[in-house]
Structure 1
Amino acid sequence: MIDWMREQFFIELPNMWGAPDWAIPALTAGALLFLLILYSYRVIKAPLWLKSCCGLLKTFAILLLVATLVEPMRSDLKPTPGANVFVVLADQSQSLQLTDPGQSSSRAEILKASLNREQAWQVRLGQDFEVRRYQFDTQISGVTDFDDYTAEGEGSSIVTTLNSVAERYRNRPTAGMLLFTDGNATDLSAIDFSGNETDWSQFPPVYLVVLGEEKSGKDISVRRVTASQTNFEAAPVTIMAEISATGVAGESVVIELLDEKSNVLKTETVTDVQSDQSFAVRFQVKPEQRGVLFYQVRAFRITEEGVFEKPEKSTEATLLNNSRLVMVNRGQGPYKILYVSGRPNWEFKFLNRALAGDDEIILHALVRIAKREPKFQFREKDSDANRIFTNTDDEKKEQVERYDEPVLLRVGKLNRGELSGGFPKTREELYEYDAVILDDLEAEFFTQDQKTLLQDFVSQRGGGFMMLGGMESFVEGEYHRTPIGEMLPVYLSGVKQSSGYGDFKLELTREGKLEPWIRVRSTEQEEQIRLSDMPLLQTLNPVGALKPAASPLTIIQNTQVESGPALVTQRYGKGRTCALMIGDLWRWKLYQDSPDNEDLEKVWRQTARWLVGEVPQRVQVNSTRKLNNAVQPIEIAINVSDESYLPLDNADIKIEITPPVGEKVTLVASPNEAFSGKYVSNYVSRTPGIYRATVKASNPDGSEINQTETGWISEPVTDEFLSLNPNREFLETIAAKTGGEIVSLNALEEFVRSLPDREIPVVEPEIHSIWHKWSIFLLAVGLLVSEWGLRRWKGLA
């Protein structure tokens, strides 16, 4: 109150004079009257305090009247009527349909009543400013009034709207923006949800009216759902759901996982939920289909089972945030692995058997059943066929392998002529595979070009490579100082020849315990039991030190407490490599107690999936939305490579999009000038639901390269109801950084009256007479009457 009185006093002080020529006569008259008053009270016999009080009262009254001779005036600056723009923005998103506890009207109904143009604050605002009115949800639209206001928008693009308005009136004098909202923006960056990425200093003052109460009643919300895939066979897909519960303390919440046909796959129940608690629920599923799949997570109180079929049973604030969709991309398999071995062995038998039951993997094998002989070798017989054909009907056939060529057995479902020439000699032939496994095969088997080709397959193509510990692998295979040896995660020089490891067991390292594809059991304790029950192994290829980027996942441990690496991996260029130094892993299957134990098969399947898990394909698709706003365009980015996996710049890319409802839409992707082999197209998801897109890439001659799938989800309403409580912190940030403030809905009239006293772009002087006010004369008369009354009270003449 004191500050207000001080402010009012200084506001009314004169800062100019209307009749300065009367200054000297006024001062003269004032001085004479003061002397007359001083003389008259000096001769009166009365107490000093009484004479002083009466004298001061009369002196002030006379001075006040004398001052009117020079006409004291006050010059102030006020907004030039109609010269400044003032913007009124009303949020019309669906979250304003909520009715707060203790209220009989919804937030939207309360807001609409306040936005009536006949309201006093709107009338006063229009007297001083050019008022521009807008309402917005995901888009902004201008209105003359808010009589048709409805809160039916599917989003709340607060930041985008403020940016748009600020840019629209950047060259116009703008006094400020008055924003009515609950602050739950749906266009904030996923990285910075506070809005700090926006440069608010370039905005005019933003004044915010916060709608809604801090407590919104009972509500169960599925805030976030994520899906992660691993090569861990027991749980290839893990779906994590973050649930928040408000106002349901002590109750139980049911969380369901549904497929695209709304079939309930799994159910979890969380009991005794705490007030305002957030908790996570994990589902593990094994999809039976490949490609793009969608799942739904929904939550409800256990006492309201069936509420989604009968929403009228719900006592929550809203059911629109009780479910969310999530996409799982199972890839475009099956993936092809090429296995090359120097001789038939037990390891290949169990590897082939394990992968035969995996629909995601196709295994092609080249198994050498006879070595080649030196080319210039004395021959006793006229036949040039390999010795394996000696004394057989095939010996005289022209198509059999010569004595200086190895005899390879082709295993797997191969096409006619595929791998007929042995190990691939060209990029096009080798790059059709996603991974290569070498076992029990010396380096001399490959030509120098094939060794370099295999190195390029991993580093440039991004393929997977694994070497198994056969008798002619690693050091024994003389891979030292070869392109293949350079890829291995272990050095082949400086090998310490051991006196013999003897019988040994496997142990997981710390890195190995963190890799899902290494584990077979669901818990660490069960994994330890599984390792201890394994039969003793006997064959280990000695190698040198680990390379700097290598990760040892398993080690061997024998009775002499001598340890060494058993399984080591590393990244190599765009691909990954793996070295398994053990040469008799097959003992795990042959000598185990239970013949029904499938641990070895599971290990091989998970290892194969790890090898091909990140191998790039010729056509790779990524669909992203930069902002959380569900109506922002989806950017579909496609990377296309030729048969050598070099960027292909002249491909023809067509995208066939299947929306939730309606007909399919076909788009043509345009080349991205900044990146070779990259194509981009944008699509706006106008209908909530599931979207699928099939990308068809063709060569310039029209031949098809490949087809791949992608998808995305549009859930604008769920994002809108992510939080039911007003985001006051976010709005306070906007107000502080733009020079505005938070305004109460009930104080709008007072706020508008204070606007002329704030910093306004275009102003004009306003002059008013201080002396020409009844309050001045009333004060002077009051002082004189007080002086006369005081004298009469004390009996003075």
Structure 2
Amino acid sequence: MDTVETFTWEFGGPLAGIPVLLAFSLLCLAFIGSLIVVWWSYRNALRQLSLQRRWTLSTLRLLTLATLFFCLANPTRVDRTYLAENESPKAILLIDHSASMTIADNRGRTRLDDAVRTWRTFANQAIDRFGEIITYHFDSDLRNAPRSELYPEQIPGPDDTQLLKALQSIMDTEKPEAIFVITDGLDTNDSQQDEALNSIFQSTVPISFITGENRIAEEKMLTLREFDSPEEVLRDTAFPVRWVIEARLQRNRSLPITLQVDDQTVMTAELSLASGYNLLPLSATVTSGQPGERVLTLTVGDDRESKTFRRIVSVGSQRSTRVLYYQGTPDWGFRFTKDIFAREPSIELTSVFKPTDEMTVISGQDEVDELPEQSQALAGFDVVLLSQVPSRQLTPARQKALQEYVRQGGGLLLLLSDADQAEALRRSTLESILPVFLEDAEPPPNGGDTLRNQMRQLRQTGGGKAIQLHPFSIVESSRYAYIFGNEDREEQVIPCFFTAAPIFRAKAGADILAQDPSEKDSAGRSGILLAIQRFGTGHTAVLATDSLWRWKLAEPSDSKAPEQFWQQLLHTVAGAGMGSDALHFVRLPVEVPVGEPINLKLNAGPDMDDSLEVVATSPEQEDFILTPLEKDNPDVREISWTPKTPGEWTISASTADTKTRQFITVGPPAVPKPDRAHENVDYHLLRSLASATGGDMLEIGSKPGWMNRTDDGPTILDERRIPLWSIWPLFLLATAFYLFELSLRRYWKLL
């Protein structure tokens, strides 16, 4: 580590945030004005003074003022500790040597061969970016690779693969800056997957995956690998639908697809497929509408060959999104935003307005008058919304409670409208769980943000002229872009803000939903307006703007855009779950072969009683009772089921209070597979891990995010700012000058 000591000026008061040269110019003008006033006052004193006495008294007064102006300039010593060059950050390369990666197909080719070929196209850039790359091998256990070897000594490897356990072990022991994994995602360790996943999701280390294919496309095949949609949504909300088409073709062809909601077509597309193997991830945004069941029907193919798959989405309010809205300092937006929440039936609001320690205004059902210091007191809320809360109210105990609340599945939404609010939370417990870095929340070098906000406020209060609102720049690639609606529809919601906090850098694993391209930092990064990140089993979000109440006033009176935006945002931060604690199926398969046993997973919750009943209904409307298996995890029930006839089956689960059902397509018998080398790569798991941690799926020709990052200089490990004006010798000197002046004035009979 290298420590460097530098010196800077951090002007305070009205000079804060403006360029140093301009601040010094204003101080010089003030000093010259003081010189004129002091000279004039002693020139016109009660008693006539000689020129020498006037100069003596004026000099003493100016020395006192100069000392005070020096304090206003706030000279500061900055001690920065940098990562030394010989301590460059490292990356880890994990290589899967299990049987599925090392068994060759009838062409003599393994998945490891294909993945290594892809890795070698990125290896040099990874070394340039991260420096040292340490290689590990894993299958049933984790071990160091001798001389960074990529291939195993023994082929094929063992059948056992513990991918998640290997990742968890690396994160606990090595603390790397990035992890690259060559694997197919086939983890055979089912017993501790949930624990390992939670540990990985809480880490800030980006994980990138390199996969390989080794299957031979001998026969034609068209199927749906994944069909993901939430099982429960609120009314009048937009929600994402994602699916993955898998096809093997003997020649190029076009493939039409149609997505319907009930009987209404919401999307049609024509896909161009190449001969050979194709894997196409697609998505669409759907509006839920009024309460009830929505049947999503996806038709893949044409009259010659087509398949139809269905999913059910429950629209309603099995329970509302419970929100604790905590407002600190007074703000016009509190009343407007609170009214928006109160008018939305899907939001159950408890608001606390605490402008002073002695005054609290509470509305809602729950008895809450303070931010709790125990996470258990927040368990009754899905989202905690903090707006302009003074730092004195965010005590360490309360921040710790919020951290634990989010870790256990709660949602936290923080509103930051200026740099002062962001600065108050720097390096706090609360900042550690946010999706952005508040250490970078400083005005741009030209002082543009603070000056711009001040000028906006002046224009707002002067002359009654209309203020200018600035629209969000929506990041359409975000997985949460559905919050704003479909980009192809005219009714897309685009919020507009008046002021924003200067935040420019997101953490690994964070998802940026909206930016402000008009504000950039010295590295050219656009300002971040809205970002979301998973922490533990919950979510945290930062809205780095005002509460958008001016946008509400600027909209037509019949517009519901602000209500829709807030409803979608709160529902997403709540874990959206889209019913995460309700009865629902977990990763239900889309199409299964007839006659083969499959395991269904049902999230029943720890409080689910013995009235749970699971029924499989055949295409001939014959019911079969399915019995859940006894497992250690009380939240998840596993059901083993073997479909006897092909066609569309309905799987229903119900208790005394709730019910859910879904469709499963049962296809023809599976073609026998000679070995594990022909099992499908688990792209769903790998994409989820890469997306949640800020990593990438590396493919030849792709450009992952870490390749585009510029070198911002040495990595700062620690920074200490020591003000030089708040020292007793400086105040003693100013006092001495003033006392000496007073003594001379009394001696010369001016007092």
What TM-score, normalized to structure 1? 0.43
Max Rg structure: 1
What TM-score, normalized to structure 2? 0.45
